[in-house]
Amino acid sequence: MLYKFQSRATSSFEMLEVHARQLLDIVGKPAAPQGIITVEQIPAAIAAIESALAREANNAPHNHDDHVVEGHANDAEKQHVSLHQRAAPLLRMLRDSLAEEKDVTWST
């Protein structure tokens, strides 16, 4: 299943359910089929993602990051998609939406 993130401030994007759930958990939102991050909630959501990214940066092996989605064998580490890479589209959307005072929504 895919989650579609939308804002009137930027283009929409889709994300695999497992990754969307991870990011929604980080920002403190339930991974419901539909939801909203209001303009008032966006600064806290940005701060939560940035905090998770900082924790990941301090953990050398990706297998031990706080928000790991699945375990990887050592040979797969080169192909590991980091939280930083997964969070980039949502973080960009949140920042653009905050600047234009627009909510961010998602749906499945």
Give residue 64's pLDDT: 47
Three-state DSSP class for 10?
A: strand
What's 15's DSSP letter? Answer: E
Q: Average pLDDT of 87-96?
A: 97
Q: What percent of the chain has pLDDT over 70?
A: 80
Task: List the one residue out of 25, 16, 9, 8 whose CA is nearest residue 108.
Answer: 16
pLDDT tens for 12-62 read: 999 999 999 999 999 999 999 999 999 999 999 999 999 999 988 777 555
Cα(61)–Cα(72) distance, rounded to whole angstroms? 10
Q: Average pLDDT of 4-15?
A: 97
Cα(79)–Cα(102) distance, rounded to whole angstroms? 35
pTM: 0.81
